[in-house]
Structure 1
């Protein structure tokens, strides 16, 4: 079993694609369309590769959850990379900056970005193949 996709509701698909294209330069739009969602028109895209994608719809209203608060809701999601510096550089190049650094740890490096819809996305590079080291709380 594996996670196939996440479905993010935003207000601007093009700004979301700018962010995620920098993260995943090898991904493309797998499919897209228009429709109605509970009485409101929406555009949607599936951006990804052959096995994983992000579904993005543009019918969002209002602001995303306050990430520094204690509201119930989506906190963040994370992607593992073999080259964290390259991901950060690609995102910086298109105008996005690190929102917070991960904690110091000898077995991993991680950073957090906020995408254009306000979702927090973590990127982590593991420096160990040992699960107990990768997941420690040092």
Structure 2
């Protein structure tokens, strides 16, 4: 089993794409279109590679949940990457500061960023192929 895509409702497609294109320069717009969602016009984009993508729709209103709060909702989602240092460099150069550094673990590196719509996105690079080391929080 694998997660194929995440569907995010955003306020601005260009701003969302700017963040995720900096994170994943090898991804592309797979498809796009427009329509209505419960009588509200929206544009949508599928941004990814041949196997995974993020679906964005631009009909979002209001603010995302407060990450420091206790509201029900998405806390964060994570992507495994092969070179976290290069990813950090691309995102910082694109104007996105690191929100939180990850835990100190000998078997993985991780970092958190906030995207333009307030979604917390974790990126993790595993330094071991052994599941018991990758999943160990000691």
TM range (shorter): over 0.9
Where does residue 134 of structure 1 map in the other structure?
A: 134
Secondary structure of 1:89's counterpart equals: helix
For 2:71 and 2:79, locate their aligned partners in 1 and report how far apart those are by CA, in whole Å: 23
Where does residue 68 of structure 2 map in the other structure?
A: 68
Q: CA deviation at 1:34?
A: 0.7
For 2:34 and 2:82, locate their aligned partners in 1 and report how far apart those are by CA, in whole Å: 35
For 1:125 and 1:31, locate their aligned partners in 2 and report how far apart those are by CA, in whole Å: 29
User: Which deviations, in whole Å up to 9, do the C-alpha atoms of 1:30-54 show, x marking residues without a partner?
Assistant: 1101100011110000001111110
Q: CA deviation at 1:70?
A: 1.2
Cα RMSD (Å): 0.7
User: TM-score, normalised on structure 2?
Assistant: 0.97
Where does residue 51 of structure 2 map in the other structure?
A: 51
Where does residue 31 of structure 2 map in the other structure?
A: 31
Q: CA deviation at 1:112?
A: 0.1
Where does residue 78 of structure 1 map in the other structure?
A: 78
Where in structure 1 are there 5+ consecutive unaligned residues? Answer: none
Secondary structure of 1:118's counterpart equals: coil
For 2:3 and 2:38, locate their aligned partners in 1 and report how far apart those are by CA, in whole Å: 26
Where does residue 21 of structure 1 map in the other structure?
A: 21
Runs of 4+ in 1 over 3 A off after TM superposition: none
Alignment coverage as a number of residue pairs: 138
User: Which deviations, in whole Å up to 9, do the C-alpha atoms of 1:36-76 show, x marking residues without a partner?
Assistant: 00111100000011111100000000000111111111111
Secondary structure of 1:133's counterpart equals: helix
User: TM-score, normalised on structure 1?
Assistant: 0.97
